[in-house]
């Protein structure tokens, strides 16, 4: 079974721009969670989507948003990029929501200049 | 508050020795814990998990121990190999039945040949 895939793998943007990242979960998985990973803050939860509904949201500004499609694929969007948004953005999927093992993709490395 | 902390940022062991990586969690409502391994340039890879109704769980060369009394989690790796060199994260599900995982800061495991 194919793992979680994320596109693009690398991205360079400038301040003020917006970016959309994509995540395709493992086949059959319905929950998709997004995390931001930085050297200073570690892995931080952004949000989770299950059956096209956002179930939980982390402590990030409204510039960070996401959505999930009927095929469980998910996208996250960051508007008005700031230098501090440079990070590795990780997507994880699980079959269900709640107490479930999450499997991570390789991440999208975003650099904001 | 939400905090999953690791006792040691870096652990250096000789090849063939056993490794023990520790983790302290603060949310007594957490009932699911996962250990992940992250190699450079990759997303976190699932190693082993444990639910709060268990004290110990064994996998291939790995064992996770859970002590709910002192809110402590440990990962034991038997006969450590160079391929085990990576950053190890513990994660807890916190309170609430959602797909939000709270991660510790990570421990770097260095295996000396």
Q: What is the pLDDT of residues A36-85, one digit of tens each?
A: 999 888 999 999 999 999 999 999 999 999 999 999 999 999 999 999 99
The predicted pLDDT at position A41 comes to: 85
Q: Share the mean pLDDT of chain B.
A: 90
- Interchain CB contact of B112 with A (< 8 Å): no
Query: A102–B45: do the CB atoms touch at under 8 Å?
Result: no
Distance from CA of B88 to the nearest CA of A (A): 12
For B43, list phi and psi in degrees, rounded to 5: -80, 165
- Interchain CB contact of A97 with B (< 8 Å): yes
**CB–CB of A13/A112 below 8 Å?**
yes
Which residues, 6 or more positions from A8, have their beta carbon under 8 angstroms from its beta carbon?
Answer: A21, A108
Q: Share the mean pLDDT of chain A.
A: 95
- Interchain CB contact of B46 with A (< 8 Å): yes
Evaluate if residue B72 carries a pLDDT over 80: yes
Query: B36–A106: do the CB atoms touch at under 8 Å?
Result: no
């Amino acid at each position: 079974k194919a793992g979680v895939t994320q596109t693009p793998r690398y991205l360079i943007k400038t301040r003020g721009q917006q970016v959309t990242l994509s995540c395709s979960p493992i086949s059959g998985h319905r929950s998709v969670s997004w995390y931001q990973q930085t050297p200073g803050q570690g892995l931080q939860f952004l949000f989770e989507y299950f059956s096209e509904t956002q179930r939980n949201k982390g402590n990030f500004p409204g510039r960070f948003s996401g959505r999930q499609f009927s095929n469980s694929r998910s996208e996250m969007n960051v508007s008005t990029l700031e230098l501090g948004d440079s990070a590795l953005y990780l997507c994880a999927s699980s079959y269900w929501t709640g107490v479930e093992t999450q499997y991570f993709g390789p991440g999208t490395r975003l650099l904001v200049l | 508050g939400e905090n999953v902390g690791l006792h040691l940022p870096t652990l250096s062991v000789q090849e063939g020795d056993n490794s023990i990586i520790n983790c302290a969690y603060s949310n007594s409502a957490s009932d699911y814990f996962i250990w992940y391994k992250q190699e450079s340039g990759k997303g976190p890879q699932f190693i082993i998990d444990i639910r709060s109704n268990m004290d110990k769980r064994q996998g291939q060369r790995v064992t996770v121990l859970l002590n709910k009394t002192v809110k402590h989690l440990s990962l034991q790796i038997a006969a450590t190999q160079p391929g085990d060199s990576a950053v190890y994260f513990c994660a807890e599900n916190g309170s609430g039945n959602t797909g939000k995982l709270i991660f510790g800061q990570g421990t770097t495991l260095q295996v000396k040949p």
